[in-house]
Chain A
Amino acid sequence: MTAPVLIFAIGNESRGDDALGPLLLRQLQEDECIERLEDFQLQIEHAMDMKDRKIVLFIDAGMNTPAPFRFSRARENNEAVLYSHALVPEALLKVYRQFYNEASPPSFILCVRGHAFELGEAPTSESLGNLAAALEFTRRLLINPDVSFWDGLVTPI
């Protein structure tokens, strides 16, 4: 059976604060209703991992994100061009629609503020503080994986 909740952490754990997503993911408790995936980057085939989900959460680290994190709804974006081998979540949702000819499952982005992304560096202490706050927030989300509940927790702009 496909788990109704997909949590997808994006990041390279050898690159300082880029590890925040995978680190957060690994601190979440095992739950048969939740599938946990991680990869360095989002790629086109990850659209297939979203099939038959009730809700999807992308967790990433961001340089320009307000601390400690920003929680937002991901929406298909026609303008979300790709500029590397990697996709942004909004473009992945668009690929999903093109591939399956249906709307993608409701998807959210939890972007944790990072500060340094150098190869071989450990996550910064400041960012680990952000990670702790994001972890607590994620546990709160997972108590009620419901779209309207999550929508109510979106960070105001």
Chain B
Amino acid sequence: MSFSLETAANPENLRRIAIDPVSRVEGHGKVTILLDDKNKIHQVRLHIVEFRGFEKFIQGRPYWEVPVMVQRLCGICPVSHQLAASKALDAIVGAKHPTPTAEKMRRLMHYGQILQSHALHFFHLCSPDLLFGFDSDISKRNIVGIAEKYPETAKRGILLRKFGQEVIRHAAGKRIHGTGSVPGGVNKSLSIAERDTLLKDIYQMVSWSREAVHLVKELHHKNPELYNSFGAFRANYMSMVGMDGSLDLYHGRLRARDDNGNILFDGVDYNNYSELIAEEVKNWSYMKFPYLKSMGAEKGWYRVGPLSRVQNCDFISTPLAEIERREFMAYSGVMPMHAPLGYHWARMIEMLHAAEMIKDLLHDDDITGSDLMATGERGFEGVGVIEAPRGTLIHHYRVDENDLITMCNLIVSTTHNNQAMNEAVRRVAQQYLHGHEITEGLLNHIEVAIRAFDPCLSCATHALGKMPLEVEVVGVDGIQLSTLSRSGDGNFCT
């Protein structure tokens, strides 16, 4: 099947521009744009050019190693993978209901992860675009530029992220490769001293998170034409919601809505995800294209992540985030918000919710309890789902009688958003690039649209000297007209 602007009719006669890699995202993505000699757009594709093969890598390993091993998938969201794997492997050890202390410790880790990831994304990666402008001076359009012009904003970003990392460190036992969550429960609870250390700062974090929501809300109110329309496209959306319909990022059932906000399915046990979701393969990307089976590949693709979650739930259980959710919903009106820049607003509401949840958990006596593990009848297959910072994360394993993994299937958040990100860049290309001379500022519009989804494309290889960017403009006769390249140290040359 094909979407508008996915495949040009006569690509051999068109110019090609590549944004490679897309910057300020996690990992390596590439956008190619085919234009004719009047700069009219004929084809736009977001390619994922890194093949990970993690599902094969994990086969044959003992299942108890998995929660630690999967953290090495990613330098940004290791906790999400650890928790999704642990939830899936709870079924293997028969832990149908983890103990209250285990569930709350896992939630604490998870909300720490949400807080630090959302803070990093907003303050570090996106605020330069939002506060300086999409086509502002490129030498200032980064966190260093933000630190110079808005030092207080930059400081808060650093301290919010640091706090989230500290929550993870105390809950998981160490900074990286933590072993806090294991199949069946957790291997540590918080000590009184750890709890009190975190309690000292949490009220400040709640306050700063609330102000971050206000900052992004103000941006929407100041420039609704841009924020409501930039790269906007209609889409179905899916997320896990709590058993009571609340925003629950750790556990619940699957719910999806169509582009008008009508329920497509609700209350679905995530163990049955494979009955709902299929994945299409396209020959130009390593990343699959998931869709809802009942609607087919053409109409069944959907969006996940903060913009979906905040609009999919019935309410948020923490008071300050619920006030903000209501205001967000009122701003959107009767119809759901589909604009990609709405992700930032929704993401900050979630960050506030995460900070409030951490505060509540630190005041809960179970968090310092000693009943850490549950057991039960041994199983051979398990599915674990959590709402990771970027969206719904599915881990599915089968284990043999020797405790070795025989099958692993992962559907990561960014994969769910594959079609949606492609739609966003095509809309932006049509809105801003079509018929215009291409400049770096205009190309950054494409990247702004991708960044709104906070895609996580890599497994954290970051060796010095890697990740150049190259933009080539090639004439219809195939002769290279100009190039712009960025080296590993960030310098540009033509």
Contact = CB atoms under 8 A, between A and B. Distances in A.
B147 A98 contact: yes
B144 interface: yes
Contact of B125 (A60, A85, A120): A85
Given A48-B158, A84-B25, A98-B154, A14 B72 contact: yes
B24 interface: yes
B26 A84 contact: yes
A12 B144 contact: no
B463 A61 contact: yes
B459 A12 contact: yes
Contacts of B139: 78-79, 81
A9 to B, nearest CB: 11
B contact residues, range = 35 or more
A62 B464 CA distance: 5
A120 B27 contact: no
A85 B26 contact: yes
A99 interface: yes
A131 interface: no
B147 A95 contact: yes
Nearest to A70: B464
A1 interface: no
B461 A12 contact: yes
B467 A84 contact: yes
A65 B466 CA distance: 11
Interface in A1-41: 10, 12-15, 17-18, 37-41
A124 B62 CA distance: 25
A43 interface: yes
A44 B162 CA distance: 9
B144 A91 contact: yes
A146 to B, nearest CB: 25
A150 interface: no
A128 B258 CA distance: 54
Given A18-B463, A88-B489, A119-B52, A83 B147 contact: no
Contacts of A79: 139, 489-491
Interface in B198-236: none
Interface string A67-103: 0000000000111111111101011001100110000
Nearest to A87: B143
A47 interface: yes
Given A80-B489, A119-B459, A120-B57, A98 B144 contact: yes
B459 A60 contact: no
B464 A111 contact: yes
A123 interface: no
Interface string B342-367: 00000000000000000000000000
Contacts of B404: none
A44 B27 contact: no
Contacts of A43: 120, 161
Contact of B162 (A18, A45, A94): A45
Contact of A114 (B27, B144, B151, B463): B463
B204 to A, nearest CB: 15
A63 interface: yes
Given A78-B144, A79-B139, A45 B161 contact: yes
A123 to B, nearest CB: 12
Given A45-B165, A119-B53, A82 B465 contact: no
A108 interface: no
Given A40-B176, A44-B124, A83-B490, A65 B75 contact: no
B426 to A, nearest CB: 23
A91 B155 CA distance: 15
A98 B464 contact: no
A65 B23 contact: no
Given A39-B75, A43-B120, A86 B462 contact: yes
B251 interface: no
B461 A95 contact: no
Contacts of A38: 176
Most buried by A among B74, B459, B486: B459
Nearest to A16: B461
A45 B53 CA distance: 31
Contact of A83 (B23, B120, B162): B23
A10 B74 CA distance: 13
A64 interface: yes
B273 interface: no
A42 to B, nearest CB: 8
Nearest to A48: B162
Given A39-B176, A119-B459, A65 B158 contact: no
Given A48-B158, A98-B154, A99-B147, A83 B469 contact: yes
B72 A13 contact: yes
A44 B81 CA distance: 22
A120 B176 contact: no
A64 B465 contact: yes
B54 A84 contact: no
B175 to A, nearest CB: 7
A82 B120 CA distance: 13
Interface of A: 10, 12-15, 17-18, 37-41, 43-45, 47-48, 60-65, 77-86, 88, 90-91, 94-95, 98-99, 109, 111, 114, 117, 119-120
3 nearest CB pairs, A to B: A40-B75, A98-B147, A14-B72
Given A40-B75, A120-B53, 8 more contacts: A39-B75, A41-B460, A45-B161, A63-B466, A83-B490, A85-B24, A94-B144, A119-B52
